[in-house]
Amino acid sequence: KNEVEQSPQNLTAQEGEFITINCSYSVGISALHWLQQHPGGGIVSLFMLSSGKKKHGRLIATINIQEKHSSLHITASHPRDSAVYICAVRPPTSGSRLTFGEGTQLTVNP
């Protein structure tokens, strides 16, 4: 079993829909990251969080440390949000390297 599990693996939505991507992890962590990988392959860091909630534009990330669970929400989704969204954790015993989920492929149709 992977240390980081994401669901769903694939998600198709219509423009304007509210989207949720989930991440569960089985290890203690010092921080959790949400990343976006564009169709061209580049990776952008969206959020780093260790508690609570963060918001940036239409993106919201939440984390529940007790339940070892995080969610990424996208409000008013747009076709340009189509990408792979990756959850990554930094266990406190691993130094600062990241352990990644397999990613969620999001497609937003116009």
Partner 1 sequence: NAGVMQNPRHLVRRRGQEARLRCSPMKGHSHVYWYRQLPEEGLKFMVYLQKENIIDESGMPKERFSAEFPKEGPSILRIQQVVRGDSAAYFCASARTATDTQYFGPGTRLTVL
Which residue of 19, 61, 88, 106 would you call a contact of partner 1, by CB under 8 A? Answer: 88
Which residue of 45, 51, 75, 107 would you call a contact of partner 1, by CB under 8 A? Answer: 45
17 vs 100, which CB is nearer to partner 1?
Answer: 100
Residue 41, both tokens:
């392959």
User: Residue 86, interface with partner 1 (CB under 8 A)?
Assistant: yes
User: Residue 100, interface with partner 1 (CB under 8 A)?
Assistant: yes
Residue 110, both tokens:
């116009």
Give the strand pairing for 104-109 and 10-14. Answer: parallel
Distance, in Å, from the CA atom of 52 to the CA atom of 91, rounded to the nearest integer, reads: 18
Amino acid at 21: I
Amino acid at 8: P
Which residue of 39, 42, 57, 110 would you call a contact of partner 1, by CB under 8 A? Answer: 42
User: Residue 48, interface with partner 1 (CB under 8 A)?
Assistant: yes
Q: Are 64 and 51 in contact (CB under 8 A)?
A: no
The residue count for binding partner 1 (CB under 8 A) is: 22
